[in-house]
Structure 1
């Protein structure tokens, strides 16, 4: 059985490939995905369909070149912390942004059950105005 660290590492590798199915492969059906207040897809989204619709599809529709670049991945047992950078260009304004970000993941029984994002939402909001 893969460790929580390997599961999240595999998620990020799928993200780098643009492989949404790979990103979702280890997501529990009732996973809770929380984006910070002030972020375009803020709130807690529960379940794969809601996460895809409210997070991934929305970011893809509203931003050009939206990316996450992983800098460090920290193993904390059943929790894993990813630290890196977001960047992209908001389509409606043509403005770009760059923001540091931390992701906190919880894995139980080989499935991702919780994700929480911490980022500088002001940098993102500035590109949207």
Structure 2
């Protein structure tokens, strides 16, 4: 069985390859995925389908070239913390943004059970106006 660190690293490796199936592969059916209040797709979504529709698909509809660049991945046993940077260009306004971000992951039984995002939502929303 993979460690929590390995499960989360596999998600980011898939992200780097633009492999959506790989990004969603380890999300448990009961995973609680929380996007920060104030973020364009804020809320808590449960399971792979809700995460895909309400996060990845929603961001793709609002932004071009949406990227997450991983800077550090910290192993805390069943929890993993990632730091990095979001960048994108809003489709409607053409404005770019760059925002620092922290992701906190909870993994159990080789599956992602929890995800929580912390970012500067103002920089993201500002690009939309």
TM superposition score category, shorter chain reference: over 0.9
Q: Could you list the per-position Cα deviations for residues 74-98 of structure 1 after superposition, in whole angstroms to 9, with x for gaps in the alignment?
A: 0000000010000000101110000
Query: How far 1:61 sits from its partner (Å)?
Result: 1.1
Tell me the equivalent position of 1:91.
91
Tell me the equivalent position of 2:108.
108
Provide the secondary structure at the position in 2 that maps to 1:38. coil
User: Over the residues paired in the alignment, what is the CA RMSD in angstroms?
Assistant: 0.5
Check if 1:123 corresponds to 2:123. Answer: yes
User: Matched residues in 2 for 1:116 and 1:75: separation?
Assistant: 16
Q: TM-score with structure 1 length normalisation? A: 0.98
Aligned residue-pair number? 129
Q: TM-score with structure 2 length normalisation? A: 0.98
User: Which is further off, 44-53 or 96-105?
Assistant: 44-53
Question: In the TM superposition, what are the counterparts of 1:29-48 in structure 2 within 5 Å?
Answer: 29-48=29-48
Tell me the equivalent position of 1:52.
52
Give ranges in structure 2 of 5+ residues lacking alignment. Answer: none
Query: How far 1:25 sits from its partner (Å)?
Result: 1.1
Provide the secondary structure at the position in 2 that maps to 1:74. strand
Structure 1 runs, 4 residues or longer, greater than 4 Å off: none
